[in-house]
Structure 1
């Protein structure tokens, strides 16, 4: 890929694609542009790491560009020959897509420093194309121990008998429905295991099969507790990161998801605790991966730094709930954060989110089906429809061969 040599031209092009640039002025330093999906506390933690890099590299200036709609914005930038030097991709599907498009530069980083499957996914066809800079555990159940007594059980099957209402928000712009999709995938993974999960994600198992149908039904049975039909329908318009706030006013008692997606401030999180799944239960995880689009040597220096234990430790030391998949990062400033991080190293199998690894057309249909399900549509017909989408729109180059799951060594 040809790199534009005029920084002001490239800056104008990218800003024209509605990106928020922290700064585009000329400074005489070598500029490294990096597109990121984070805002607020998450971005502040990342920017602290960037400032430390700039202090150690006085001839390099890092220019972060913030967008919450990263993949389509990045698509537009690549099409305009105005790709940033680096970008932080929010999921497996985006990484696979840009690798298949042959627009990524290889990276000189040893992925053996990262836990499986994070390090595995960073490699494609024997070369390294990504660095997992931020990890998350999605298979978490949150509650207030002063309110939920006795503590919730550890398995989805046992949770069906508990009366506490769940916090549920499914709205997320064009990807509304994904929180339910993640949750359904988590149930299937826990109830049926890694083999069944990978077979479903790759399209070898039908959506209308009993294991997949049972996961949908179990999810619906959980989230409809203590809700009227209109109350369940309202979940489709409630923002996913606003749902957990219901635990503050006792309108709901249990919440599922990652720390960073809960929408709570760091001081608020300390009020809650999480159920630790059984040691033999696989966990659904996610990661943000930094990738390289240009041949910039300064960008190569930055990505090498972001992959280091030093930078990743500095990152988790900041507020923002960051977890690291780096094997040498084991110290956490917050006990809740540390508890979740230890789950990554517990020996449980770890699997990336199903929808993130599916063909984009299939993922979009999955999200829409979730919304229709909570709005009262028949499950059997929805799953048959998803099978039709899989047959007609699923592409042969979908990431079926992606290393979706892996078991890290205990540490």
Structure 2
């Protein structure tokens, strides 16, 4: 007769579990000892997948190797919500990387950000990237640093170069609005860019800073132009756009109004880009400014390790992901002709560049803008109602939105 197996006693299991925990801790300590780690810094950002892998390989690992400082990366697609929760709990990350200055300005005004004065030379960047911001009662300081920048105001194409006439048919456009909690942002890019090309940088900056009403004729015209270009209200087309991810592949022969992060996709299609001013109807005499975007690093919990990370990110010799705004950085010889052209458009003196307007707005306004775009695409005749809703959350602020001209 086969003997029955004896089950381990609870006490035995507890001892075994404790041994495993101690062994794991010893391994971690051993690894840290082997690497001669001197400290750590927590970094919160929204990069994931290949984007995160590239950042860790190209940026974080060389930093850790050089300074013997561990970087504990915290990635989240719900970046704003996670950061707000961490702040409320009194446990913010050491460094956070947010898209655009709007949300960061709110934290700076609340005294939650540490000035970066003296950690890097902000003259290495155009004024819009690392500005000196004046906060009542706190003086003027630099609170953020661009880590990754992107070019917008781009219309991608393959084969025949588009113009105003050939781009005027909704069926030509490839468009996806789905992006999880931030769905609708590709549509805000459309409205922003059209306003920038039709009304010019000065009007655009006033609007982005909340000094121009949403109900202004120039703003309304930008919305209606957007609707006419993409076919707002056309049920089948709009339903497809609302459920299509912003990074979905475009069919041959289509056009796409999208940023520089799409370079890889269009390279495979043999494509190129033109400035959106070439295809936007009624572009004004000041057309030609570039809308731009950027991920900005801010210091929330100061420490020598966190400050060293900021210095490293600002070093012109640091290889940052995609495109850098640092004017002293050497051209990246790994980039092809299109990528080098994008980098030139981002840094070349004499070109006017303006922040993605929704990224400069307070979070409440930005989120309402995203939702308004989605509702407008479904029911364009209700535009006035959407504009009144946005007007109700308009907030006046003072940020350098356009510059470099």
TM-score of the superposed pair, with normalisation by structure 1:
0.79
Matches of 1:339 and 1:368, distance apart in 2: 33
Is residue 353 from structure 1 mapped to residue 353 from structure 2 by the alignment? no
CA contact (8 A) 1:33 1:62 kept: yes
Is residue 404 from structure 1 mapped to residue 405 from structure 2 by the alignment? no
Is residue 240 from structure 1 mapped to residue 256 from structure 2 by the alignment? no
CA 330–191 in structure 1, closer or farther in 2 if over 3 Å, else same:
farther
1:214 aligns with 221
| CA apart distance, 1:346 | 5.2
Q: String of CA shifts for 1:261-299, please: whole Å, max 9, x gaps.
A: x3x756955722111456951111111111111121011
| CA apart distance, 1:406 | 0.8
Matches of 1:287 and 1:123, distance apart in 2: 21
Matches of 2:264 and 2:184, distance apart in 1: 24
Matches of 1:362 and 1:296, distance apart in 2: 33
CA contact (8 A) 2:130 2:143 kept: no
Matches of 2:153 and 2:97, distance apart in 1: 23
| CA apart distance, 1:258 | 1.4
Give the greater-gyration-radius structure (CA). 2
CA contact (8 A) 2:150 2:323 kept: yes
| Residue 188 of structure 2, aligned match among 161, 181, 203 | 181
CA contact (8 A) 1:177 1:368 kept: yes
2:367 aligns with 364
Is residue 52 from structure 1 mapped to residue 52 from structure 2 by the alignment? no
Runs of 4+ in 1 over 6 A off after TM superposition: 121-124
Matches of 1:237 and 1:81, distance apart in 2: 37
Q: String of CA shifts for 1:145-183, please: whole Å, max 9, x gaps.
A: 2xxx2x112xxx556546761111111222221110111
Q: String of CA shifts for 1:330-354, please: whole Å, max 9, x gaps.
A: 4132221111111121522111111
2:8 aligns with none
CA contact (8 A) 2:266 2:272 kept: no
Matches of 1:106 and 1:165, distance apart in 2: 47
CA contact (8 A) 1:188 1:211 kept: yes
SS in structure 2 of the partner of residue 174 of structure 1: helix
CA contact (8 A) 1:137 1:284 kept: yes
CA contact (8 A) 1:109 1:128 kept: no
Matches of 2:174 and 2:330, distance apart in 1: 31
Is residue 138 from structure 1 mapped to residue 144 from structure 2 by the alignment? no
CA 267–257 in structure 1, closer or farther in 2 if over 3 Å, else same:
closer
Is residue 326 from structure 1 mapped to residue 326 from structure 2 by the alignment? yes
Q: String of CA shifts for 1:56-92, please: whole Å, max 9, x gaps.
A: 112x111111111111101111111211111111122
Tell me the C-alpha RMSD between the 2 structures: 2.6
Matches of 2:84 and 2:300, distance apart in 1: 12
**Where does the alignment leave 5 or more consecutive residues of structure 1 unmatched?**
1-23, 317-321
SS in structure 2 of the partner of residue 246 of structure 1: coil
TM-score of the superposed pair, with normalisation by structure 2:
0.81
The 5 Å alignment of 1:265-304 reads 265=264, 268-269=267-268, 271-276=270-275, 281-304=288-311
Q: Is 114-123 or 365-374 further displaced after alignment? A: 114-123
| Residue 71 of structure 1, aligned match among 65, 68, 80 | 80
SS in structure 1 of the partner of residue 131 of structure 2: helix
Matches of 2:148 and 2:268, distance apart in 1: 19
CA contact (8 A) 2:100 2:294 kept: yes
SS in structure 1 of the partner of residue 311 of structure 2: helix
| CA apart distance, 1:236 | 1.5
Aligned length: 356
| Residue 126 of structure 1, aligned match among 137, 140, 160 | 140
CA contact (8 A) 1:141 1:275 kept: yes
| CA apart distance, 1:206 | 2.6
CA contact (8 A) 1:89 1:288 kept: yes
